[in-house]
Chain A
Amino acid sequence: MERNQILAEVQEIFRDVLDNEEIELLDATTADDIEEWDSLTHIQLIVAIEKHFKIKFTSKEILSWQNIGQMIDCIASK
């Protein structure tokens, strides 16, 4: 799948889970940029992304992402 396509789909998941239609994701976006995105909603996002793309992340992968770009790279590599 195209990287841009993944980003668009992840953005849709973010909007849905965090209940905020105004969220715009960029590679450099971090949890500091989105008010609703914290350690708790992070897990809900992970579960929704895993379900959507039918993939499974390792704990280390999840804990090492520092921005959206790294998350998208990880999804693309699956």
Chain B
Amino acid sequence: MVFNSLIFLVFFSVVYLICWVPLKNTTKGQNIFLLLASYFFYGYADWRMLPLLIVATLIFYFLGKGIATAKSEKQSYWLTALGVVLGVSTLLYFKYFNFFIESFGALLETCGQHTNLHTFNIIMPLGISFFTFRLLSYVIDIYRGKVEPINDIVAFGTYVAFFPCLLSGPIDRPTFINQLKTVRTIEYNNTIEGCGQFLWGLFKKVVIADNLATSIDQVWNNIDGATGSTLAIAAILYSFQMYTDFSGYSDMAIGVSRLLGFTIAKNFNHPFFALNMADYWRRWHMSLTSWLTDYVFMPLNIRFRDWGKFGMILAIIINMIVVGMWHGANWTFAVFGLYHGLLFVPLILSGAFFKKSKIHTNRLGLPVIADFGRMVLTFMLVTIGLTIFRAGNISQAWSYFCGMSDRTLFSIPDLDGKVELYTAFVSIILMLIIEWFNRDKSLLLSYIKNIQRPIVLALLYSFTLFIILLLRGGSADFVYFQF
């Protein structure tokens, strides 16, 4: 059930009405209902995966209690370790088991050994990477003394399975549970900001990402027949497709949550305005990168702290390979992670890694030339990484780069779907302008709340929705559902 579908509109309207009419001011009732609605939402995608989600929730709920009430430090350590092993091995089994078998087989073949290894028909549960990370941070944070275990299994279950974030994040931390303990009220500002954020996400997804998808897919399906310039333009457009697809989903999740009275984690902070790669990773998929910073990078960095800059380089390279592999079982993701890890090396050695980048603007409020140049350079480096990310395998990525670097790079690009591309192109420019002038606002379009007349707003939103539907591209699934 995707956000931009009629079935979701019906589902959400029912959830919204039940939460705010019969269950108004009843935190417990709303939580029970939200949990059931979330399980329905998940089961609607694939009901066979519901037992795994429920069993994992129960195990981690009791593990959390066990860690907090353990008789000794050693006992709480081992219970936490058990949680981490359970979470990570579930992920490894469902996402990477066949990959390991295939890679092992390929390695033996390379050594001249004939193998007869079987892969298994494993169905990967949707959203497993997202809810497993929520479960892991719960037990680790209890062990670290950062949160108390919760004595309310319904609230805990809702935290794990909260439907706006279940399939594609953002990955909220256990502090989100506090919002499930308090009374949530329907507020004018929340409602208009929620609707505004949802529409903004919808615009990015259906007008930009979906209009770009077909043309880019066609280029990838015929790399050998495409000119260098076509490949280069498609690579650049893919960066915009990925951003608008994923941040569009996140914005819609933020909007839906707002309408239900929740504030969830921010996932993007205008990554294309980043001045270097470190800056970029502070702005892209922030809920994942901050999760990995806390639970992978920091422990490694602490362990390697006496090795100086070399220790930090090692920690960041391991961390970035984990970031890459988190997306799935393919060597392209590992290379994508390694590539990003290596891009951090000059930043660490020069000390730029430790400084927060500030954008300097001129009289017109635009970035100064030097900063604009750094933004373009960062964008190009990101685009190279995303090309590896998009490829089906390493050799396809290699063919793509080879095709891009021949003489035809200077010919006129030739992409199919001109109308869709022009629509997307104009929309990208519009998006960048709106983002640039609203880059310091926590919720884009929040200035709409100054309009205090509900009818004017309703008309404005309806008109925006009409335009979005008029310009929408072909329906495509969200890229991040597969992770």
Contact = CB atoms under 8 A, between A and B. Distances in A.
Interface string A8-37: 000000000000000000000000000110
Interface string B123-150: 0000000000000000000011110000
Contacts of B305: 43, 46-47
Given A36-B356, A38-B356, A63-B144, 12 more contacts: A39-B297, A40-B312, A43-B298, A43-B305, A43-B312, A47-B306, A62-B302, A63-B299, A63-B302, A64-B144, A64-B145, A66-B146
B356 A43 contact: no
Interface in A44-78: 44, 46-47, 59-60, 62-64, 66
B250 interface: no
B303 interface: yes
B298 A35 contact: no
20 contacts: A36-B356, A39-B294, A39-B297, A39-B301, A40-B312, A40-B353, A40-B354, A43-B301, A43-B302, A43-B305, A43-B312, A46-B302, A47-B306, A59-B299, A60-B143, A62-B302, A63-B144, A63-B299, A64-B144, A64-B145
A39 B293 contact: yes
A63 to B, nearest CB: 5
Contact of B144 (A38, A44, A46, A60): A60
Interface in B273-304: 293-294, 297-299, 301-303
B354 A59 contact: no
A41 B294 CA distance: 14
Where chain B touches its partner, the secondary structure class is helix
B302 A64 contact: no
B244 to A, nearest CB: 28
A44 B355 CA distance: 13
Q: Contact residue range for chain A? A: 10 to 19
A59 B356 contact: no
Nearest to A39: B293
Closest 6 CB pairs of A and B: A64-B144, A64-B145, A59-B302, A43-B301, A63-B144, A39-B293
A67 B345 CA distance: 30
B316 to A, nearest CB: 9
Nearest to A36: B356
Contact of B298 (A36, A41, A63): A63
B354 A41 contact: yes
Contacts of B144: 60, 63-64
A60 B74 CA distance: 12
Contacts of A62: 302
Contacts of A35: 356
Nearest to B278: A40
B84 to A, nearest CB: 14
B288 to A, nearest CB: 15
Contacts of A41: 354
Interface in B294-327: 294, 297-299, 301-303, 305-306, 312
A40 B347 CA distance: 12
A23 B297 CA distance: 26
Nearest to A38: B356
User: Residue among B293, B299, B354 with the most chain A CB within 10 A?
Assistant: B354
A25 B301 CA distance: 24
Contacts of B306: 47
Contacts of A63: 144, 298-299, 302
B320 to A, nearest CB: 14
A39 B289 CA distance: 12
Given A39-B293, A43-B305, A64 B146 contact: yes
B73 to A, nearest CB: 9
A15 to B, nearest CB: 15
A39 B294 CA distance: 8
B354 A44 contact: yes
Nearest to A59: B302
Contacts of A39: 293-294, 297-298, 301
A46 to B, nearest CB: 6
A4 B143 CA distance: 29
Contacts of A44: 354
B314 to A, nearest CB: 13
A40 B146 CA distance: 20
Interface-centre pick from A42, A44, A59 (highest chain B CB count, 10 A):
A59
Nearest to A57: B302
A62 B298 CA distance: 10
A44 B305 CA distance: 8
Contacts of B293: 39
A3 B412 CA distance: 70
Contacts of B354: 40-41, 44
Nearest to B290: A39
Contacts of A36: 356
A66 B148 CA distance: 14
From A36, A42, A46, A63, name the one whose CB has the most chain B CB atoms within 10 angstroms. Answer: A63
Nearest to A70: B145
Contacts of B356: 35-36, 38
A9 to B, nearest CB: 20
Contacts of B299: 59, 63
